[in-house]
Structure 1
Amino acid sequence: MSKPPNDRFDDIPRATGRVGAHRAEQPGMNGLVVLLWSAAAALVLIVGGIFVSLVMMDRISLTGEPTPAPVQTQGVEAKIDTSYRVLLLNATPQSGLVATTREELLAQGWAGDAVFGSEGSTQEFEKTTVFYVDEADEAAALGVAEVLGGAEVQQSDFYADLNDTELPQLTVVIGLDRAPGATPQGEDGEDAPVE
């Protein structure tokens, strides 16, 4: 095989330095920088997704309007039904309210063993509320609220597990409105069930 003839490019000395630089990594793209930018982008997307989810589930209100209070069913008349057991929970810092409230119910005909309660609570409750489980219990709950001087009434199964008998049971959470001199500690003004 013959050797190609020499031309003018054969006489140029080989240069040391970067050869094929167009294929080299960009000098500004460090692996750590790329990782940090990727983590920041992922964090923004995750936080944005959580926020949108909370807005869509009505956990966050963008309008700033308060959630409407539970509305009592129209047409249900209050009925004092002493066949219901009544659990009293004191959700105030003042002790002795369970005994006072119990006496009010006993004076209306409830049996002594049908009205019981607890003085301790980890959370303060602004307004005294009577909780009932089934719609059929609403009239009895309104009756207890009437005996207690206009307490609020809400349907909730939060306290259903506290009933260990077959008898129907109502739960009264005693709020700061029945504690003389007590002031609400909550900021949102909305009561949640007391644990």
Structure 2
Amino acid sequence: MSKPVRDRFDDVPRTSGRVGAHRAENPGSNGWMVLLWAVVAALVLLVVGIFASLMIMGRITLFPAPQESVTPMPEETGIVDTSYSVMILNATPEDGLDEQMRDDLVNAGFAADLVFAVDGSSDDFPETTVYYVEDADEQAAIGLAGLIGGAAVEQSDAYAGMNDTGQKQLAVAIGLDRTAAGSAEQTPEE
């Protein structure tokens, strides 16, 4: 038998223990790496899924609209000015409400000769309202509305012609909200 001819592959050192086309990785050496990547991928998918679910349900907003800062306006309390004359109109079917309110205002410091109580021309006025004529009277009207236990305040000259005292005047129209039937309708039943 003849000796084979030497070629370039004969000079390759034989330290690797592998010869030829066996270039595949050693099985089992990457098992831990595959497991690590699988755990990382599962965690990423879990976090993305939870985040997407919360966005769909509306519990998280990615880009919330900027909220306008609203400064609360202080509630006007008005001033109680006892120098005004007050005309009280009972615009309800219940008798005596105008006299009760007159007594309350006199006890609060209004002059008895400047507080007038009369029956109104209607008996179905819905909400107790304090009317004033001039812009300068608004604070006194708000103060009077607070004094009588809360009422609407409105600027109107409807009652300006009824003022024969020469004083600044406020008018209070007692509404159905001050009657026993009106109070029962406003309180929620449990």
Shift of 1:124: 1.3
Q: Is the 8 A contact 1:127 1:174 kept in 2?
A: yes
Q: For residues 153 and 171 of structure 1, what CA distance do their matches in structure 2 show?
A: 10
The corresponding residue for 1:98 is 98
Instruction: Show structure 2 runs of 5+ residues with no match.
Output: 1-72, 184-190
Looking at secondary structure, tell me which structure has more helix per residue: 2
Q: For residues 147 and 75 of structure 1, what CA distance do their matches in structure 2 show?
A: 15
Shift of 1:182: 4.1
Helix, strand or coil: the match of 1:170?
A: strand
Larger Rg: 2
Q: Is the 8 A contact 1:76 1:138 kept in 2?
A: no
Helix, strand or coil: the match of 2:140?
A: helix
RMSD over aligned CA atoms reads 2.0
Instruction: Show structure 1 runs of 5+ residues with no match.
Output: 1-72, 184-195
Seen in structure 2, the aligned counterparts of structure 1 residues 77 and 120 have a Cα distance that, compared at 3 Å, is closer
Q: For residues 138 and 75 of structure 2, what CA distance do their matches in structure 1 show?
A: 11
1:21-60 mapped onto 2 (5 Å cutoff): none
The corresponding residue for 1:140 is 140
Q: Is the 8 A contact 1:159 1:171 kept in 2?
A: yes
1:58-77 mapped onto 2 (5 Å cutoff): 76-77=76-77
1:150 aligns with 2:154: no
The corresponding residue for 1:128 is 128
Amino acid at match of 2:118: S
The corresponding residue for 1:86 is 86
Matched length = 111
The corresponding residue for 2:65 is none
Q: For residues 127 and 136 of structure 2, what CA distance do their matches in structure 1 show?
A: 23
